[in-house]
Amino acid sequence: MDVYSEEELFKVIRDAYTNSKKIQILGKGKHAKKGDAEEFIYTRKMDWFEIKGDKVQALAGADVVKIRKEASENNLLLPTLYDGTIGGLLATNEPSPLSTTYGRPRDFTSWVTVLTPYGGIRWNFLIGSRGILGAISRAEMKLFPKPAKVITYEKKSVEDNEISKLVELSPLVLLVDYDREKFNIHVSFEEEKNVGPGYLKDEGVPVVEIIDESREIIIEGDSFSAFVRVVNIGKPVYAYWVYKSGIFKLYDADTEELSKAGVKFYTRDNPKEVYLKLKRLLDFKNIFV
């Protein structure tokens, strides 16, 4: 069912709590896998947002692409390439190539309101809890001056010492991906740089193309050597790492081998252990799927 306001969303949550009914909160549903819920609640009709100065305040169903477009028309940047709703962006704390400079959504969110059966909680720690603790209803996010231009350099077969040299140049974006055979680098700046031989030059921010999000696992880490290690163990079909994002993402990886090697990971639909522990306090009836 669709909900149109925070008040209506809270009533649905309260009803589910009273009747011990399992519900799942979704934005548009394009980035989430449906779980074992009795009812699916869509916030896509809660699509209001307003830009004031260098901040945007938005309800959970506001379209991130529309916000980014209006911000851009005002020479501002919402630093994410996510194409769903604000609620989905904050529920996943989804990184983007721009995370190198601006961080992940939690880093540029001023505050977020999450609705529970007991009312609203304003607590940024709940960003990234993937909807299992409550429903994101509203947030305020920071906007940044839009770069006048973005120049991207790309190269295949990256060496470890190249990463440290590029970091010294203060890149806007530093993205490394793996495609079964080799590690490729994509590094962006607001002006031309001497990055060394072997790079192809293009304009615009590099984009990560994911075919099947359901086959994604997430591993915490933030160095090229650590990224190479987990790739060599898990042997994924595809993987990527954005410098300063704090995580690696692997697709179609050998999770058994990763577990044997003591590598901890979590999935898009099963958040970090800290949120599972917190669920016992905030959702002890286990209504949020």
| Mean pLDDT over each residue of the chain, to the nearest integer | 94
Q: Report pLDDT digits (tens) over 241-259.
A: 999 999 999 999 999 999 9
Q: Is the pLDDT of residue 270 over 80?
A: no
State the burial class of residue 106 (Cβ atoms within 10 Å of its Cβ: 0-12, 13-18, 19+): middle
Q: Report pLDDT digits (tens) over 225-245.
A: 999 999 999 999 999 999 999
Q: Domains in the chain, start-ordered, CATH in brackets?
A: 6-146 (3.30.465.10), 151-267 (no CATH)
What's the pLDDT at 111? 98
Residue 276's pLDDT band (cuts 50, 70, 90): confident
Determine the 3-state secondary structure of 277 from DSSP: helix
Specify the pTM.
0.91
* Mean pLDDT (whole number) for 205-232: 91
What's the pLDDT at 158? 83
Q: Is the pLDDT of residue 261 over 90?
A: yes
d(CA 198, CA 187): 13
Q: Is the pLDDT of residue 269 over 80?
A: no
Residue 37's pLDDT band (cuts 50, 70, 90): very high
Q: Report pLDDT digits (tens) over 66-91.
A: 999 999 999 999 999 999 999 999 99
What's the pLDDT at 32? 77
Q: Is the pLDDT of residue 127 over 90?
A: yes
Q: Is the pLDDT of residue 188 over 90?
A: yes
* Mean pLDDT (whole number) for 146-155: 96
What long-range pairs does 49-58 form, CB within 8 A, spacing at least 24?
Answer: 49/86, 51/76, 51/143, 54/142, 54/143, 54/144, 55/110, 55/140, 55/141, 55/142, 55/143, 56/140, 56/141, 56/143, 57/138, 57/139, 57/140, 57/141, 58/86, 58/138, 58/139, 58/140, 58/141
* Mean pLDDT (whole number) for 160-171: 92
Paired residues of 52 in beta bridges: 55
* Host H or E run for residue 131: none
Place of tokens 């590598």: 263
Please state the φ and ψ torsions of residue 213, each to the nearest 5 degrees.
-65, -25
CA distances from residue 43 to 60, 128, 170, 219, 239 in whole angstroms, order as listed:
6, 17, 38, 29, 31
